[in-house]
Amino acid sequence: MPNIAREELKPEESEQLLLLPGGHPPLWNHMDSIGPVGLRQREGAPGCSQEGLPCPSDSSELPVSPQVLACLQQFKVTETQLRQIQASLLCSMEHALGGQASPASSVRMLPTYVGSTPHGTEQGDFVVLELGATGASLRVLWVTLVGNEGHRMEPWSQEFVIPPEVMLGPGQQLFDFAAHCLSEFLDAIPMDKKGLQLGFSFSFPCHQTGLDRVRQSGHGDSGWKVCSPMKAIGGLIQVFCPQSTLISWTKGFRCSGVEGHDVVQLLRDAIKRQGAYSIDVVAVVNDTVGTMMGCEPGFGPCEVGLVVDTGTNACYMEEARHVAVLDEDRGRVCVSVEWGSFSDDGVLGPVLTTFDHALDQESLNPGAQRFEKMIGGLYLGELVRLVLAHLAQQGVLFDGCTSSALLTQGSILLEHVAEMEDTLCPSSPLAGAARVHAILQDLGLSVGASDAKLVQYVCAAVLTRAARLCAAALAAVLSRLRHSRELQMLQIAVATGGRVFERHPSFLSILQETVMLLAPECDVSFIPSVDGGGRGVAMVTAVAARLAAHRHLLEETLAPFRLNHEQLAVVQAQMREAMVKGLRGEASSLRMLPTYVRATPDGTERGDFLALDLGGTNFRVLLVRVTEGGVKITSQVYSIPEYVAQGSGQQLFDHIVDCIVDFQQKQGLSGQSLPLGFTFSFPCRQLGLDQGILLNWTKGFNASDCEGQDVVCLLREAIGRRQAVELNVVAIVNDTVGTMMSCGYEDSRCEVGLIVGTGTNACYMEELQNVAAVAGDSGHMCINMEWGAFGDDGSLDLLRTCFDANVDQASINPGKQSFEKMISGMYLGEIVRHILLHLTSLGVLFRGQQTQRLQTRDIFKTKFLSEIESDSLALRQVRAILEDLGLPLTSDDALMVLEVCQAVSQRAAQLCGAGVAAVVEKIRENRGLEELTVTVGVDGTLYKLHPHFSSLVAATVRKLAPRCVVTFLQSEDGSGKGAALVTAVACRLAQTACV
């Protein structure tokens, strides 16, 4: 931005200056420059034009001294300078929106987390506390919202003057004062005062953490602050409230111990100290937001809120995707510009007068809020005072006499300027001048004949500049809006609030005209806010209250999914106990099935093997070539249609043999009888390596005539039914065992196999002496725990939720596989769906609209959880998935669905971690080791694809088994390779036995 020198007067301008009508001071025609009006009133303009131009009624000309001219000249801002301020402010806005670190002298662009303008449905009684909008006073309101239907109720309100020592004293004193005013106000209100909800309009620059949006700060932590804990299931339920950290005081406030602190908590503590009423601070709102939200329904919605009161600021509805800190890609969010801090010396320097510098130097915050100090009502009076004192000391005003009042900072207030400037075009100029005289005499000044008029021109010059600068800033916001919405023409309603608007009617007209000049492509309607935004704050509070209530219901619903360390340690201990009982053959929900796998591979295995892998997402046939150089796998995936998985056993095994034959043909293996290892991922009581009695189907399989049968026989019979096929079934292994063996081939410390996929289960190398079912007491045997059934004896009932019960009831094996149904991929999506149905029925989600789609079983796939919880595209993902499901969602819904998914998957991972901790601790104690180093071989889609599952399992194991160093090794080739290796070991052992 080029540096602009203070503008020299163009020749035609200097000629104009010398002659003035009726003793009026030299003024400029604002069309090409900014400052008091030109020499003669524009031809044909009406009497007191709304531009604050002198009225022709007083036709007398007023000689103006060069000093006065030079003085008023300083307040001239040219159109060019205005356009540069507009452009520089726009640039600073986009800079800050992009999240780039911005110098203190730029606008702040603070997201307010107000994501929507009022629906009009908001209802209820709300208390509003306004602090900071009107300088040395605070206001309390009781606002009753009646929604669309009801008849509008006038709010009750009361204003309290804040003593200067409170505005400059300790922060606690200020908030105690506010709490005192609150209760004094409420004492007088004849309404029921239980469960009061308060909206705090705090008109200073603050970093907010949320109003109705939860900041995503990683898994499970919503970033909301817990206000007050209350007893509930499993410890705390949390009440949520916003946080708003004060960046810096402005506008005459300078309380200590507040900047950098959460002003909501300071107010809460003060209300508690006051102890008169229990009031919940539900929302904190900037006054511009209250003004925008208070826009009269008939006019709105307003999408810009503009306040010019003691200070000045604006907010507007920005596209959320443009606000870098939000990670949002849809919808809009209200951004508080905080343009008061704009002071790009490059463009403002030439506009800043000596009086501005003087005012800044004497202010509480020199160097800060430079833009605000040229526009805000707190400063206009002071600017006028400094100019008048200067002109008096130059002897061109008040006969060169000053007064102590005139030399006292703050002696000329906004009201004085309003009165004096407003009389510039009174219906009767004399009356006007008399009032100016009265004000100046009150300041102890002797007012000469032309003094009153000159003073009026000073007021007009200061105010006109303020209005123009404000217009330049507003024009920047409008250009930003038009740009971010890619519009040729922007039609917009701007809500205005603040005493400068109320007291200076010319302010709005000058602002309007200048906006039309600077942003001709914007059709702007200005809507004065009715009650200073109190209703708007109540609207926001109503929205926040509704969302806090929704959030409370969400937390109440999800609380049972948030397991703490004690609960997980109980699961670990219960699993340990069930393991011991199962190994002893006592009643236990853990069958602890011997697998007859006694050793993990030692690398000497060799040969070609066929392997089958049934029970996971896919059925695979594999050719596994084990050579010195390693293992080479060729495989083919085949589907097992539901009607086959739930048909007859014969049909199922015939289908399996068909796939084998197809594979052999494709691999040119037809007629070869390779040793075959069968990964059969269902609970089987093995009587030997190649004998496995199916105990019960799981994971949606239910083929008849199989349970209680030796599945190796069923396979051999199917092979027998197929002519010309010869297969040598050597081993049947569970997928956990296959996974352990496959990883054991890479890492000899791998002694545990874990599957978290469609189903879940684990196996590990147990001391043979502990396995009652198998003779021998030396050496090890791999035990298939079948932990999916853990809790089928009711030991998990304390943790089971009604949603788990719904899923279990709807499954084909109710009462079975309890642990699996809280952890594995076949069920997590269904648990989430049932929770979403519940929250919809509570009106928390989807505006309470139940959709057919969401009532469809298995419509919410578990893979959605992995997609939704992926850190990078969280909300976009959520929205895309839910919209595909035809769900009408708001952005709040998207976040709540994300939290539901997080809670369900977190519980699953923690329960899985508690199980692994029980296993590795058993191995460590089996071996009487102080510390155990062990590897767990893992497979399964959920474990592999979910973005956080594996790290949560590992974290839970670290907490529950601190004396075990556990490495999780993801199996690359699945358990088919493991089955082949088990077969290879069996063949090697058989050969050595023959030798």
Where along the sequence are the contacts to ligand 0WK (CB under 6 A)?
613, 615-617, 679, 681, 735, 738, 755, 757-758, 825, 939-941, 974-976
- Strands 490-497, 522-528: pairing is parallel
Minimum CB–partner distance for residue 942 and ligand BGC (Å): 10
Residue nearest to ligand 0WK (CB): 757
Cα–Cα distance measured from residue 952 to residue 219, given in angstroms and rounded to the nearest whole number: 10
DSSP code of 731?
Answer: E
CB burial of 129-168 (b: ≥16 within 10 Å; e: otherwise) equals: bbbbbbbbebbbbbbbbeeeeeeeeebbbbebebeeebbb
Cα–Cα distance measured from residue 383 to residue 417, given in angstroms and rounded to the nearest whole number: 10
Minimum CB–partner distance for residue 786 and ligand 0WK (Å): 13
Cα–Cα distance measured from residue 868 to residue 622, given in angstroms and rounded to the nearest whole number: 33
User: Of 734 and 910, which has the nearer Cβ to ligand BGC?
Assistant: 734
Cα–Cα distance measured from residue 787 to residue 592, given in angstroms and rounded to the nearest whole number: 8
State the binding partner of 35 from ligand BGC, ligand 0WK, none, CB within 5 to 8 A by kind.
none
Minimum CB–partner distance for residue 759 and ligand 0WK (Å): 6
What distances in angstroms separate CA 43 from CA 39, 62, 848, one per listed residue?
A: 11, 19, 63
Minimum CB–partner distance for residue 788 and ligand BGC (Å): 4
User: Of 615 and 829, which has the nearer Cβ to ligand 0WK?
Assistant: 615
User: Of 113 and 790, which has the nearer Cβ to ligand BGC?
Assistant: 790
Minimum CB–partner distance for residue 761 and ligand 0WK (Å): 9
Minimum CB–partner distance for residue 981 and ligand 0WK (Å): 13
CB burial of 799-831 (b: ≥16 within 10 Å; e: otherwise) equals: bbbebbebbbeebebeebbbbbbbbbbbbbbbb
User: Of 533 and 757, which has the nearer Cβ to ligand 0WK?
Assistant: 757
State the binding partner of 976 from ligand 0WK, ligand BGC, none, CB within 5 to 8 A by kind.
ligand 0WK
Task: Spell out the SS3 assignment of 861-893.
Answer: CHHHHHHHCCCCCHHHHHHHHHHHCCCCCCHHH
State the binding partner of 736 from ligand 0WK, ligand BGC, none, CB within 5 to 8 A by kind.
ligand BGC
User: Of 36 and 757, which has the nearer Cβ to ligand 0WK?
Assistant: 757
User: Of 52 and 757, which has the nearer Cβ to ligand 0WK?
Assistant: 757
Cα–Cα distance measured from residue 824 to residue 813, given in angstroms and rounded to the nearest whole number: 15
Beta bridge partners, 969, equal 937
User: Of 450 and 736, which has the nearer Cβ to ligand BGC?
Assistant: 736
Cα–Cα distance measured from residue 551 to residue 572, given in angstroms and rounded to the nearest whole number: 31
Minimum CB–partner distance for residue 582 and ligand BGC (Å): 14
User: Of 376 and 616, which has the nearer Cβ to ligand 0WK?
Assistant: 616
Beta bridge partners, 333, equal 318
- Which amino acid is located at 437 in the chain? H
State the binding partner of 683 from ligand 0WK, ligand BGC, none, CB within 5 to 8 A by kind.
ligand BGC
Beta bridge partners, 630, equal 627
Structure tokens, 224: 């909301």
State the binding partner of 613 from ligand 0WK, ligand BGC, none, CB within 5 to 8 A by kind.
ligand 0WK
Closest by CA to 939, choosing from 975, 906, 891, 965, is: 975
State the binding partner of 698 from ligand 0WK, ligand BGC, none, CB within 5 to 8 A by kind.
ligand BGC
Minimum CB–partner distance for residue 631 and ligand 0WK (Å): 14
Minimum CB–partner distance for residue 938 and ligand BGC (Å): 11
- Contact by Cβ (8 Å): 238, 221: no
Structural element, H or E, at residue 295: none
Q: Rounded to the nearest 5°, which phi and psi values hold at 912? A: -60, -45
Q: Which residues bind ligand BGC (CB under 6 A)?
A: 615-616, 681-683, 698-699, 734-736, 755, 757, 759-761, 786, 788, 820
Cα–Cα distance measured from residue 480 to residue 91, given in angstroms and rounded to the nearest whole number: 9
- Contact by Cβ (8 Å): 251, 309: no
State the binding partner of 679 from ligand 0WK, ligand BGC, none, CB within 5 to 8 A by kind.
ligand 0WK
- Contact by Cβ (8 Å): 638, 652: no
Residue nearest to ligand BGC (CB): 759
Annotated catalytic, 49? no
State the binding partner of 319 from ligand BGC, ligand 0WK, none, CB within 5 to 8 A by kind.
none
User: Of 699 and 833, which has the nearer Cβ to ligand BGC?
Assistant: 699
State the binding partner of 825 from ligand 0WK, ligand BGC, none, CB within 5 to 8 A by kind.
ligand 0WK
Annotated catalytic, 620? yes
State the binding partner of 423 from ligand 0WK, ligand BGC, none, CB within 5 to 8 A by kind.
none
User: Which of these is catalytic: 546, 551, 620, 924?
Assistant: 620
User: Which of these is catalytic: 681, 866, 891, 905?
Assistant: 681
User: Which of these is catalytic: 451, 690, 735, 808?
Assistant: 735
Cα–Cα distance measured from residue 354 to residue 789, given in angstroms and rounded to the nearest whole number: 83
Sign of the alpha-carbon dihedral angle for 503, 506, 508, 511: negative
User: Of 761 and 770, which has the nearer Cβ to ligand 0WK?
Assistant: 761
User: Of 552 and 863, which has the nearer Cβ to ligand 0WK?
Assistant: 863
In sequence order, what E strands does 114-189 have?
123-131, 137-146, 156-161
State the binding partner of 734 from ligand BGC, ligand 0WK, none, CB within 5 to 8 A by kind.
ligand BGC
Minimum CB–partner distance for residue 817 and ligand BGC (Å): 6
State the binding partner of 788 from ligand BGC, ligand 0WK, none, CB within 5 to 8 A by kind.
ligand BGC
- Strands 619-627, 607-614: pairing is antiparallel
- Which amino acid is located at 611 in the chain? A
Closest by CA to 313, choosing from 345, 290, 332, is: 290
Minimum CB–partner distance for residue 732 and ligand BGC (Å): 11
User: Of 175 and 790, which has the nearer Cβ to ligand 0WK?
Assistant: 790
Give me the DSSP letters along 643-712: HHHTSBHHHHHHHHHHHHHHHHHHHT-TT---EEEEEE-S-EEEEETTEEEE----TT---BT-TTSBHH
- Contact by Cβ (8 Å): 332, 320: yes
Annotated catalytic, 613? no
Q: Rounded to the nearest 5°, which phi and psi values hold at 717? A: -65, -40
What distances in angstroms separate CA 813 from CA 428, 641, 788, 862, one per listed residue?
A: 93, 19, 12, 19
Minimum CB–partner distance for residue 944 and ligand BGC (Å): 13
Catalytic positions: 620, 681, 735
